[in-house]
Structure 1
Amino acid sequence: LRTPLMTLQLRLDTLAEALEREACDADTCGMLESAIRQADRLVSLVDGMLDVSRITSGRLTLQVDRFDLRDAVTEVADRFREAATRAGCALAVAAHEPIVGVWDRLRIEQILSNLLGNAIKYAPHGPVEVDAVRRGELVLVTVRDHGGGIAPEDVERVFGQFERAVTTRHLGGLGMGLYIARQIAIAHGGTIHCDSLPGQGAAFVLELPSRVPGVGLEPTLP
C-alpha cells in the first residue's frame, strides 16, 4: 500500500516542479496543492497503521545512538514554525543546557512531531511552548498549549488506539498518534503523561531515561 502512495507523491512533486516553470493559474495550483496534501496525509495514515501493527505484534525496534536532545527539539520545532504561524500560534522553545543521551533519534522526533502537531492543531491562536530539561536521571520534554484543555475523564483515554479528545469532524487523522508516541516512549524505558484541565490548556510531558535500558552506549559526550 505504501509503495503506490510513494509513487503518487513523487509524480505529484514532479508535476508541481513542472508547473512552477510554467504559468499556472490559481485554480490549477490550488487543486495540485490539495492533492499533495491528501497524498501526504495518506502516507502518514499508512505509516501510523504500520507502527500500530509493529507495536501490537512486538516488532517495534529502536536504532539508538548518542545525541543531544536539544538538537532534535530545535529541528522539529523549526519544521513546525510555518504551520504555527498559519495557525496563529507563537512557538517558543527553551532548551538551553546540553541533554546528551542514547535514544532512537528518528523515533524521538516522531514523538515530538506528534505532540507539537497536536498542540498547533487543537489549540490555534495561542502560544505553544516547548521546554527540555534534565532532572537527575530523567529527561523531560514538555509541550504546552493554551487551548481548551482536556476533561479529566479523557486525559488517559487520548492515549488509546483510535482515540481523540476532540471530535471535531474537520480535524483529520485516526487518533493513533498519541498511542504510538507513548508506546515509543515506553520502548525507550520512559512514558508520556498529560496534565490538563478544561479551559486551561494541556501539557504533554515526555519522560525518558538517559539511555534506553540494556544499551551499552553511555549518555556522555564522545
Structure 2
Amino acid sequence: MKVSGKTRVCALLGDPVEHSLSPCFQNAAFQHLSLDFIYLAFTVKAEDLRSAILGVRSLGFYGLNVTMPHKISVIQYLDELDENAEKIKSVNTILNRDGRLIGYTTDGIGALNALKYNGVNPGGKKIVILGAGGASRSVSFALAKEAEELVILNRTVARAEKLVSDVCHLIVRSEKIRWGGLTEENIRKELREADILINATPVGMSPNEDETPVNKKYLHPDLAVFDLVYHPLETRLLKEARMVGA
C-alpha cells in the first residue's frame, strides 16, 4: 500500500479498538479496489469524543466507523442523520461531505442479513437480545418487524425500558416486545423457549475471552446464537453454544 499526500483517511473511533479487525479488512478492500485510501483505528475516551470529531472535521477525514461506547453519544456532534439513524438514534458510520458530517446506521440490516445468510429466519420467532446500547438499538429496530416476540435484557433496566418504548412507538405493538434486567433468573426464564439469542454486550470481547454473558446450562439445541462480538471469532458464548448443539 502506497501512502501519499493525496491519500484519503478513514478511521474507526471507539474504546477499546485494539482488538478490531477493521483496519485489516478495510485496507485489504481499498487495495483490491485500487482506491487511494487508508483506514486506521483510534482509541477515543468518552471525554475526548467531541474534540476527536472536531479533529475529523478539521483534518478532512473522508469517513468514520464508530463503535462502543460512542454510537449514541456521537450523534450530538453531527450535522445530519439519515432516516434510519434519526429514527433509531444510533450511528456506526459517518461520511464527511464537504465538511458536513452525516451519520448512518448499518448494524441492524447487517445483523438481519447475517442471520438469513446463515439459514436463520427471524420471522415468527422469539428473540432475546442482551444489551441496550447503540448496536442493540439498531438490531432491535430491524428485528422487531420480523419477530413474533422480542425480549431485551440489560444491566441498566431503565435503558432497556427506554429502548422498548422507542421501538413500540415507531415499529410494533407493545404486547410483542418486553424488557427486563440482565439477571441470571431472567436469562433462564426467557431462553427456555427462545429461538434466537443475540449478544449485543461487550462481554467476551478480547482480551476478556474467558467471559460469557450466559451460563452454558441455559443454552439448548433449538437455540440459534448470534454474538455481535467478533474478536475472538469464536467467543466463549459461541463455543459453548456449539457444545450443546445450538
Q: TM-score, normalised by structure 2?
A: 0.25
In terms of fraction of residues, the more helix-rich structure is 1
